[in-house]
């Protein structure tokens, strides 16, 4: 009995236009601060940071018993040591941090559950059984099987503990960052001295942030920035004696001038619309910065048909570069592949700068191409990073872990909106595989080097445009000529007569036998099976009879 080995392909999700950004943040440096200014900022940051730590402790102690009454009680206690607006900013930041920890806790539980399921499945299989595309196979040896049973018990214990903590409303939060806390026990590896670490730790735990308030003067009463760049801070009650202006305010000697979105920021403060401010110290550079942020309505995206009207730029995301290709409206690749490299090693600031620089290059090139949208894969490797699923494939795990999916989405959508470009997200299924199969070799020339990533960019763009990825399509109905319109297949550039009708069977002898269904003899293989060739043969016979 013949075995059916045909693999079932998963359903491809429909492409969609991603929503635009809903928030804005700009930053400027506080230059020419006097020693008194820095002293006041440090004292205010330390005092409010202590209050924020105590409030976070109380919120974590409340757990799931939190209510509006407990919130009001905490805010009332903070108001006596600061002000009502500072207390509101601290409690709101506390709730946001607690909610973020809850979401991370849920993601951790889901990851543990996926690992336990994979281990139980693989342990139930015989040793050495091969896996499939959807599920891994059995383990290779008894030793590996035994080690995985021990790991299963470890993961089950962690899962039970995490579930119990979630049901009890317990979260683990570190003000200042868990990474910086871990560096305290590895100062040599972090290349820090104890004094340098202490400075960074204290600066990260300061609190100098105030939420905006619509209807108030310049959109913020706590940290106020006037149109001419003057910065003033409402001092907490215990530090009111340091004020150098009326109503317990301290005016900094430095003035700010935002170079980016200055007009939009000025329009908001002139209309007294809410603007949130945050002051922080970069300990490494010894510089103070002021960040302004505000919300705005979500940018309405254009319809998918409008995004496809001028073609598309397909972008394939990789661990060290973007591979982009321009396609016209009909899905035909135009020009040469473009590659935009970036380096994701080093510090977080360096990685972020590399991504922003590469995205800027992609957007500028897309603008020069004249397209209205950029197509990217809707990547989400959350379920694919499990150690149990790809245990031996360390390079593959490093590959999918190194691709900056979340940060890339946020950056690309935000920066594309400023350039007037839309982002079309497509299903990433089979893009690299089918792109390399159908587009890599046909487009490669001695002067054009095509990689699988370049071909994947074409596949992504064609899927966003609504075209199939495969190059060849079915012939027109009725007959094999162009009687019902121009053919939709795409022949290679070197194909003879690719803009004309199909040649007769005799000129395609390499596949005539299979299509004609003959026995392979010379006489039968010469007989044409197309209507066009039969007519031409009849005309040739009639002319021969007339001549004779």
What would the two tokens of residue 136 be? 């891994």
| Residue finishing a domain among 242, 270, 295 | 295
| Residue finishing a domain among 244, 260, 295 | 295
Are 456 and 535 found together in one domain?
A: no
Are 291 and 312 found together in one domain?
A: no
Enumerate the H helices of 3-67 as residue ranges.
Answer: 35-62
Are 285 and 339 found together in one domain?
A: no
Asked if the model's pLDDT at residue 137 lies above 90, the reply is no
pLDDT of residue 345: 79
* Nearest alpha carbon to residue 273 among 298, 294, 297: 294
The answer to the question of residue 227 being in a domain is yes
pLDDT of residue 130: 83
What would the two tokens of residue 530 be? 């197309």
Asked if the model's pLDDT at residue 514 lies above 70, the reply is no
Of all residues in the chain, what percent carry a pLDDT higher than 90?
A: 51
Are 460 and 407 found together in one domain?
A: yes
Are 27 and 57 found together in one domain?
A: yes
| Residues spanned by the domain of 446 | 304-465
Render pLDDT for 10-54 as a digit per residue (tens, 0 to 9).
778 888 888 877 888 999 999 989 999 999 999 999 999 999 999
Render pLDDT for 359-382 as a digit per residue (tens, 0 to 9).
999 999 999 999 999 999 887 544
Render pLDDT for 419-450 as a digit per residue (tens, 0 to 9).
889 999 898 888 988 999 889 888 888 888 89
For the chain, give percent helix, strand, coil, nearest 5: 50, 15, 40
* Residue bearing the bigger pLDDT, 516 or 108: 108
Are 102 and 251 found together in one domain?
A: yes
Enumerate the H helices of 285-380 as residue ranges.
Answer: 304-307, 348-369
Are 53 and 131 found together in one domain?
A: yes
Are 209 and 283 found together in one domain?
A: yes
Are 143 and 215 found together in one domain?
A: yes
Are 377 and 455 found together in one domain?
A: yes
Number of domains in the chain: 3
Render pLDDT for 146-191 as a digit per residue (tens, 0 to 9).
999 999 999 999 999 999 999 999 999 999 999 999 999 999 988 9
The answer to the question of residue 475 being in a domain is no
* Nearest alpha carbon to residue 408 among 432, 383, 379: 379
Rounded distance between C-alpha atoms, residue 306 and residue 329, angstroms: 11
Strand partners, 433: none
Are 429 and 360 found together in one domain?
A: yes
pLDDT band (50, 70, 90) for residue 533? very low
How long is the chain? 548
3-state secondary structure 455-482: HHHHHHHHHHHCCCCCCCCCCCCCCCCC
Are 48 and 83 found together in one domain?
A: yes
CB 234 within 8 A of CB 248: yes
The answer to the question of residue 3 being in a domain is no
């Amino acid at each position: 009995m013949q075995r059916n080995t045909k693999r079932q392909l998963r359903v491809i999700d429909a492409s969609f236009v991603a929503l635009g950004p809903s928030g804005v943040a700009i930053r400027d440096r506080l230059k020419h601060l006097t020693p008194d200014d820095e002293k006041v900022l440090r004292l205010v940051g330390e005092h409010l940071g202590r209050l924020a730590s105590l409030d976070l402790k109380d919120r974590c102690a409340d757990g799931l018993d939190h209510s509006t009454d407990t919130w009001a009680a905490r805010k009332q206690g903070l108001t006596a040591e600061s002000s009502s607006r500072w207390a509101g900013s601290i409690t709101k930041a506390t709730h946001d941090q607690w909610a973020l920890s809850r979401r991370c806790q849920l993601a951790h539980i889901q990851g543990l559950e996926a690992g336990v399921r994979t281990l139980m499945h693989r342990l139930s299989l015989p040793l050495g059984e091969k896996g499939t595309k959807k599920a891994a196979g059995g383990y290779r040896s008894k030793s590996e099987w035994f080690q995985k049973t021990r790991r299963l018990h470890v993961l089950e214990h962690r899962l039970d503990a995490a579930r119990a903590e979630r049901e009890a409303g317990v979260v683990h939060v570190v003000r200042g960052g868990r990474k910086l806390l871990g560096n305290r026990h590895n100062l040599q590896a972090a290349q820090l001295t104890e004094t340098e670490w202490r400075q960074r730790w204290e600066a990260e735990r300061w609190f100098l942030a105030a939420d905006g308030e619509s209807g108030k003067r310049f959109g913020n009463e706590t940290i106020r920035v006037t149109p001419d760049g003057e910065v003033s801070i409402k001092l907490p009650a215990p530090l009111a004696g340091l004020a150098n202006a009326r109503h317990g305010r301290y005016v900094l000697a430095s003035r700010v001038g935002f170079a980016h979105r200055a007009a939009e920021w000025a329009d908001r403060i002139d209309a007294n619309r809410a603007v949130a401010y945050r002051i922080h110290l970069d300990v490494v550079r010894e510089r103070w910065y002021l960040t302004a942020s505000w919300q705005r309505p979500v940018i309405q995206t254009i319809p998918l048909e409008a995004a496809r009207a001028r073609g598309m730029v397909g972008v394939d995301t990789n661990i060290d570069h973007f591979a982009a290709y321009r396609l016209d409206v009909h899905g035909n690749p135009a020009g040469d592949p473009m590659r935009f490299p970036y380096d994701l090693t080093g510090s977080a600031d360096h990685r972020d700068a590399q991504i922003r620089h590469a995205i800027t290059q992609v957007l500028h090139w897309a603008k020069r191409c004249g397209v209205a949208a950029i197509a990217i894969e809707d990547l989400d490797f959350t379920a694919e990073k499990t150690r149990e699923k790809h245990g031996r494939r360390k390079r593959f795990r490093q590959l999918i872990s190194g691709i900056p999916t979340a940060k890339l989405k946020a950056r690309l959508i935000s920066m594309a909106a400023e350039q007037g470009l839309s982002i079309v997200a497509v299903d990433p299924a089979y893009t690299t595989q089918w792109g390399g199969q159908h587009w890599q070799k046909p487009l490669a020339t001695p002067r054009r080097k095509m990689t699988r990533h370049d071909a994947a960019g074409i596949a992504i763009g064609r899927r966003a445009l609504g075209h199939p990825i495969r190059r060849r399509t079915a012939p027109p109905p009725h007959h094999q000529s162009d009687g019902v319109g121009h053919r939709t297949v795409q022949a290679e550039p070197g194909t003879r007569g690719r803009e004309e009708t199909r040649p007769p069977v005799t000129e395609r002898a390499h596949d005539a036998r299979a299509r004609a269904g003959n026995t392979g003899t010379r006489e039968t293989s010469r007989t044409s099976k197309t209507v066009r060739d039969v007519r031409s043969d009849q005309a040739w016979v009639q002319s021969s009879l007339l001549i004779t």
